[in-house]
Amino acid sequence: MFATSFCRRRLLLHIRKIPGGGTNRVPSIPGAIHLAHSYSSTAVSSVPNSELCPATVSYLISCGLSPAAAATTQKTRILSNDKADAARALLRDYGFTDADIVRTVRSATSILIVDPERILRPKLDFFASLGLEPRKIATAPFLLARSLDKHLVPSMQFLRGIIGSDDDLRLGFSRVPRALMADVDKNMRPAVEALRRCGLTEAAISKLLVIHMGMLMASPDRIREVFEELKAIGMRISDSRFLYCFSAMCGVKRGAWRRKLELFQSFGVSEGEVLEAFKTQPTILLSADDNLKQKVRFLLDELKLGISDMMSRPVILAYSLERCILPRCAVLSVLMREGRIQRDIRLPQALLGNSKIFSARFVLRYADDVPDVVKAYEGKIKFEGFV
């Protein structure tokens, strides 16, 4: 179970705003960091030996790692199975599932060789006091190998000073857990200062970090470059879409924008249409080129949608082909076959909307009379065209 309310109150003493974190700063409580100072991950060590340790590999396989994954951990040797077992048991006590533990151990094997009570528990208490979910921590397991007093506490202090709300802090972390790996002085503070210099208000910076906390890992030069790129395509800071476009463009490598533009132009789309589509649905920039090309080809060739239909409703290009578009098409195909919907239904409108809306309109509504719609939505009936 997570930490008790007493532990929560005690640990929350750490999360105080520090200078440079943002507006409305409050002074740190004298001595508030002394608990964190007692628990550093400097005790984490590994044996500098490039040879595989059969006992370690065997143990990791018993934890659920594949032989190949276990074989990549030659820098860590498990000398005490009891200590490793205790570490895994502790993770379970804090809500980590078996899958979370496998993911954590695979990327941060060193947590199996530290003192669970002295090193791991204080960090788990700290994360629990903030309401951070174990499954999210498991996506960035190296956080458990970072020093509590030298890294985790200062990072959270800084972020709380910028974001303000604990709810927003949790939301931002849950979207990009690895952002907490960024160093306050080397990454976080320079990134925030760059955003200020580019003209963003404190409120806008706070919102941007909630949208994509990974911004803290961008260099000041990259931040300035993205501002210039958005300015060049007519995006103003005052535009309500600006922060989302900024986040998306920062999430791709340099040159990706030009490649995406050329890809769409190969389908006969003008530069102006691409720019408008990007401003409306910035995440189209985040799709891999091959995936985007496959998606466009499917919509053109199989669904007979016009390219103008896609560009005027670019959200459809942000949907996953395998997990979203194909299952929805399979459902619509079943309903057409059973005569429950017209074959000339307007596909763009039918396919759009979140899963709750689509499910209510086309799955739950017909599930009793046409059970196949449930199977189609679950991927058990594949889409083979609108016959």
Q: Can you give the pLDDT at residue 50?
A: 53
Q: What is the pLDDT along the chain (387 residues), one digit of tens a residue?
A: 444 333 444 444 444 433 334 433 333 323 332 323 333 333 333 444 456 788 888 888 888 888 888 888 767 788 888 999 999 999 999 999 999 999 998 888 888 988 999 999 999 999 999 999 999 999 999 999 999 999 999 999 999 999 988 899 999 999 999 999 999 999 999 999 999 999 999 999 999 999 999 999 999 999 999 999 999 999 999 999 999 999 999 888 877 888 888 999 999 999 999 999 999 999 988 888 999 999 999 999 988 888 988 999 999 999 999 999 999 999 999 999 999 998 888 888 899 888 999 999 999 999 999 999 999 999 999 999 887
To the question of pTM greater than 0.85 for the whole model, the response is no
3-class secondary structure for the chain?
A: CCCCHHHHHHHHHHCCCCCCCCCCCCCCCCCCCHHHHCCCHHHCCCCCCCCCCHHHHHHHHHHCCCHHHHCCCCCCCCCCHHHHHHHHHHHHHCCCCHHHHHHHHHHCHHHHHCCHHHHHHHHHHHHHHCCCCHHHHCCCHHHHHCCHHHHHHHHHHHHHHHHCCHHHHHHHHHHCHHHHHCCHHHHHHHHHHHHHHCCCCHHHHHHHHHHCHHHHHCCHHHHHHHHHHHHHCCCCCCCCCHHHHHHHHHCCCCCHHHHHHHHHHCCCCCHHHHHHHHHHCHHHHHCCHHHHHHHHHHHHHCCCCCHHHHHHCHHHHHCCHHHHHHHHHHHHHHHHHCCCCCCCCCHHHHHCCCHHHHHHHHHHCCCCCCCHHHHHHCCCCCCCCCC
